[in-house]
């Protein structure tokens, strides 16, 4: 070496060693996440460890698929599908929880802003007209008074005999509306008087809204507006179905993690953490051609998408094609889901060559848009499936239909966001 480092030829790492280091690092992450999952003390820790397992399994499987010419074909073709099984099994529980949260929040948004509640009796005294005579008992106007004793005489007549004043006549206000659910103390009727209960129920029907108690307060938490009857029943139906699906997914994940099949996968990943089975001709092989092949597959799949239509906001393309009586997923969503998978393979391939390349803002924004597309499409399918439940009320079916249409609009918005992100120049382009 010359003084000052002049004339030193830079040493480029062997591509096979780059791939081997990447696979060993991902295998170590897989084993660490598995150890954290087994020692998790809370459900939150267990869920986070399962996400780490899925991330490591996806990256290992993507590397085995993309750089298969450099790896032992028998080994890579055997381990790749098993890692896809692990990732898919562990993702179901989280997907059900995300879907339920998304649908319930959409139902609350559809319910509108919080409606003003009628003042309850005793919370705010009615204003007294200046110059009006004070009550005969001398008590303040806003003081509570005991209810009149039950007798056969009407309440106004009893009040007149007690005070010596003539009974008050009923005031007729044709344009007035009922604003209180409890009559004034001086106008109480006996429970057995004809029209007493009917009049009180009519007042409550006018002033109370769905989800509001008899005291005028909302029964919903968090200050949200009370849902309509159909939306509330739709939310209960979705919560029951998706909670059941989440419980089954959780049981399936626990059963899979304890199975002999998963133990075999964990053993192969443990071997991968120490030794990567490369082919004999792997030394000096360029990794750029396999990565370019992954990028070309992505570009070809994106070219087949209707990006011109998706580039127009509010085009209703996703909504119109989503209104199908077929319970199977609509084929219009399948190309977008395929692009999402190919984009992930492209990003993971770039991470092998350059760890910083996988964090390209353009690719990250496009991937997030396709993730929202997938979540909205699956949520719309869940709403449609719930609407096919036998013997549900028409109001519930209507609320589920509105929810389905809203999620299909979210699908459309995600396609528009992907089109905007994909049209941006790649990172580093002048």
pLDDT in tens, 335-359: 999 999 999 999 999 999 988 776 7
| Helix or strand run (H / E) with residue 342 | helix 334-353
Measure the CA–CA gap between 53 and 60, rounded to whole angstroms.
11
Q: Where residue 168 falls among pLDDT bands split at 50, 70, 90? A: very low
Measured N-to-C along each axis, helices 229-257 and 260-272 cross at an angle, to the nearest 10 degrees, of: 70
State the CB neighbour count (10 A cutoff) for residue 203. 17
DSSP letter, residue 325: S
Asked if residue 348 lies in contact with residue 58, where contact means CB atoms within 8 angstroms, the answer is yes
Q: List the beta strands (DSSP E) in 112-205.
A: none
What is the gyration radius of the CA atoms in the chain, in angstroms? 34
pTM over 0.85: no
Measure the CA–CA gap between 3 and 212, rounded to whole angstroms.
84
182: Cβ–Cβ under 8 A, 6 or more apart, which residues? 121, 200
Q: What is the pLDDT of residue 160?
A: 44
* 368-388 per-residue burial string, b: 16 or more CB within 10 A, e: under 16: ebbebbbbbbbbbbbbbebbe
Q: What is the pLDDT of residue 109?
A: 86
Mean pLDDT of 205-216: 40
**pLDDT tens readout for residues 308-334:** 666 566 555 655 555 555 555 567 889
318: Cβ–Cβ under 8 A, 6 or more apart, which residues? 332, 408, 409, 411, 412, 415
List the helix and strand counts (H, then E) for the chain.
13, 0
Q: What is the pLDDT of residue 311?
A: 59
Q: What is the pLDDT of residue 112?
A: 59
Asked if residue 54 lies in contact with residue 87, where contact means CB atoms within 8 angstroms, the answer is yes
**pLDDT tens readout for residues 243-290:** 999 999 999 999 999 999 999 999 999 999 988 888 877 777 888 999
- 70-79, 169-178, 201-210, 250-259 — which one is most confidently predicted on average? 250-259
Which pair of tokens denotes residue 341?
Answer: 């998978």
Collect contacts of 153-157 with beta carbons under 8 A, ≥24 apart. 154/189, 154/190, 154/193, 155/186, 155/187, 155/188, 155/189, 155/190, 156/186, 156/187
Measure the CA–CA gap between 1 and 87, rounded to whole angstroms.
49
Q: What's the chain's average pLDDT? A: 75
Collect contacts of 19-25 with beta carbons under 8 A, ≥24 apart. 19/63, 19/67, 19/70, 19/71, 19/276, 19/278, 19/287, 19/352, 20/276, 20/278, 22/63, 22/351, 22/352, 23/60, 23/63, 23/272, 23/276, 24/272, 24/273, 24/274, 24/276
Percent of the chain whose pLDDT exceeds 70: 63
pLDDT at 218 exceeding the cut of 90 = no
The closest of 278, 228, 8, 211 to 109, measured between CA atoms, is 228
DSSP letter, residue 218: B
- In degrees rounded to 5, what are phi and psi of residue 278? -95, 160
3 state SS of 154: coil
pLDDT at 72 exceeding the cut of 70 = yes
Q: What is the pLDDT of residue 15?
A: 77
Measure the CA–CA gap between 307 and 402, rounded to whole angstroms.
26
Measure the CA–CA gap between 41 and 49, rounded to whole angstroms.
11
Q: Where residue 125 falls among pLDDT bands split at 50, 70, 90? A: very low
Q: What is the pLDDT of residue 211?
A: 43
Measure the CA–CA gap between 353 and 349, rounded to whole angstroms.
7
């Amino acid at each position: 070496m010359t003084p000052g480092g002049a004339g030193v030829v830079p040493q480029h790492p062997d591509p096979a060693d780059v791939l081997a280091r990447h696979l060993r690092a991902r295998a170590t992450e897989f084993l660490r996440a598995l150890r954290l999952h087994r020692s998790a003390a809370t459900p939150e820790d267990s869920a986070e460890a399962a996400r780490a397992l899925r991330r490591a399994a996806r990256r290992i499987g993507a590397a085995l698929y993309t750089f298969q010419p450099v790896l032992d074909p028998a080994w890579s073709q055997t381990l790749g599908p098993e890692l896809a099984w692990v990732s898919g099994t562990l993702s179901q529980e989280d997907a059900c929880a995300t879907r339920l949260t998304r649908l319930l929040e959409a139902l609350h948004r559809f319910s509108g802003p919080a409606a003003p509640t009628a003042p309850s009796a005793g919370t705010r005294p009615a204003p007294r007209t200046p110059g009006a005579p004070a009550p005969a008992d001398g008590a303040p106007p806003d003081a509570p008074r005991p209810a009149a004793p039950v007798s056969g005489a009407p309440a106004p007549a009893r009040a007149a005999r007690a005070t010596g004043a003539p009974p008050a006549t009923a005031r007729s206000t044709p344009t007035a509306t009922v604003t209180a659910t409890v009559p004034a103390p001086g106008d109480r009727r006996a429970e057995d008087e004809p029209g007493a209960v009917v009049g009180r129920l009519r007042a409550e029907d006018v002033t109370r809204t769905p989800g509001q108690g008899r005291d005028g307060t909302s029964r919903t938490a968090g200050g949200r507006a009370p849902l309509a009857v159909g939306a509330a029943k739709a939310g209960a139906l979705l919560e029951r179905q998706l909670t059941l699906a989440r419980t089954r997914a959780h049981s399936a994940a626990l059963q899979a993690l304890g199975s002999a099949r998963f133990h075999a996968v964990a053993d192969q990943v443990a071997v991968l953490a120490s030794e990567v089975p490369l082919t004999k001709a792997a030394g000096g092989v360029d990794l750029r051609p396999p990565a370019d092949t992954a990028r070309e597959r992505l570009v070809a799949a994106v070219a087949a998408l209707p990006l011109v239509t998706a580039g127009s906001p509010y085009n209703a393309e996703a909504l119109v094609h989503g209104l199908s009586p077929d319970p199977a997923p609509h084929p219009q969503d399948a190309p977008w889901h395929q692009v999402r998978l190919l984009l992930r393979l492209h990003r993971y391939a770039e991470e092998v060559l350059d760890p910083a390349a996988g964090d390209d803002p353009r690719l990250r924004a496009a991937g997030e848009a396709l993730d929202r597309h997938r979540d909205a499409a699956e949520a719309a399918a869940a709403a449609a499936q719930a609407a096919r439940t036998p013997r549900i009320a028409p109001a519930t079916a209507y609320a589920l239909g509105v929810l389905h249409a809203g999620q299909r609009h979210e699908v459309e918005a995600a396609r528009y966001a992907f089109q905007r992100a994909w049209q941006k120049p790649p990172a580093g382009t002048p």
